[in-house]
Amino acid sequence: VNPTLTAVAAHATPDVQAQSDDRGITIDRVGIRRLRYPLLLATPSGPQATVAEWELTVELDARERGTHMSRFVETLEAFADVAMSGRRLMQMLAVLRDRLDAPRTDARCTLTQFIERAAPISEQRAQHVIDCSFVASSSVEREQLTLGVRVPITTLCPCSKEISEYGAHNQRGYVSISAELEPTSDLGFLDLLAIAERSGSAVVYPLLKRVDERHVTMQAYDSPTFVEDVVRNAALGLIGDPRVIGFTVEAENNESIHDHSAVASVNWRRQ
């Protein structure tokens, strides 16, 4: 690095973003999106290195023309070695708010987490991927934190089972949960995963031997679920966890008998 050169050049380059603006429009969010960055995720079994995609924005006062885009990346880089959790993310947003002198900062971060999963009978182990997300907002008055997961499940149609002499159509479905938490909550992605996986007809595995395939085939047939059942089951699980302040849960089935999906969603806030 050459600080002298940087200082000289900075002097020579006018700060257009710092100009004032007279259109009278406050900008709710301005910043960067689709920035992929290495992430160290805090998990119950220690930090896990993964790849995240970020959206980081600030609120911009009506009188300011622009924000300083490079400071978002600088802040991410400064937190690169921190094992990221909801709590750490709130800290990062407070730093960003200060660094950009902004009334509010918002973050959306999607990432993948792997867990080791054993097949139900053979107990053979392999890595199972979970799509996760942090959504957070930080201002002087208020901090908000939402954790999200998108979890594949098997769903077997109760109607198809009931009306057919044999068989029942089933398919891969996805349960998506966005759960709002206290910013200091210890609820993690694996808690949401557990709720999602209890809501369908069967759990999905990375590796199944024949004995396992037999098991999950019959398990799904024994536990038929509509998308309506899946979201209600997951909603009851989320309501039952006192750490959850509010949530949106959605189930989407990639119907095996159609080329479109069946979907259902429930929004809820603790009173």
Site for a second copy in 157-196 (CB under 8 A): 157-160, 162-172
Residues 93-122 that bind a second copy (CB under 8 A): 112, 114, 121-122
> Rounded to the nearest whole angstrom, what is the least distance from the CB of residue 172 to a second copy in the complex?
5
Residue 197 touching a second copy (CB under 8 A): no
> Rounded to the nearest whole angstrom, what is the least distance from the CB of residue 91 to a second copy in the complex?
20
The helix/strand/coil state of 140 is coil
DSSP code, position 157: -
> Rounded to the nearest whole angstrom, what is the least distance from the CB of residue 199 to a second copy in the complex?
11
The token pair that represents 43 in the structure block: 């998990």
Residue 235 touching a second copy (CB under 8 A): yes
Cβ-proximal residues to 198 (8 Å cutoff; 6+ apart), any chain: 233, 234, 237
> Rounded to the nearest whole angstrom, what is the least distance from the CB of residue 184 to a second copy in the complex?
28
Nearer to a second copy, 60 or 177 (CB): 60
Q: Which residue of 79, 143, 206, 246 would you call a contact of a second copy, by CB under 8 A?
A: 206
Residue 83 touching a second copy (CB under 8 A): no
Residue 262 touching a second copy (CB under 8 A): yes
Contact window for a second copy (CB under 8 A) among 84-92, 140-148, 184-192, 257-265: 257-265
- Specify the residue for token string 């960055």: 37
Residues 129-158 that bind a second copy (CB under 8 A): 129, 152, 154, 156-158
Nearer to a second copy, 185 or 248 (CB): 248
Residue 70 touching a second copy (CB under 8 A): yes
Closest CA to 137 of 188, 81, 97: 97
Q: Which residue of 4, 45, 123, 140 would you call a contact of a second copy, by CB under 8 A?
A: 123
The helix/strand/coil state of 191 is helix
Check if the beta carbon of residue 156 is closer than 8 Å to that of residue 221. Answer: yes
The token pair that represents 255 in the structure block: 């119907």
| CA–CA distance, 232 with 226 (Å, rounded to integer) | 10
Give the containing element (helix H, strand E) for 77: helix 70-78
φ, ψ at 97 (rounded to 5°)? -60, -45
The token pair that represents 148 in the structure block: 């999200």
Q: Which residue of 143, 182, 213, 241 would you call a contact of a second copy, by CB under 8 A?
A: 213
Residues 8-67 that bind a second copy (CB under 8 A): 9-10, 12-17, 21, 23, 25-38, 49-51, 55, 57, 60, 65-67
- For 133, left (φ over 0), alpha (ψ -120 to 50), or beta? beta
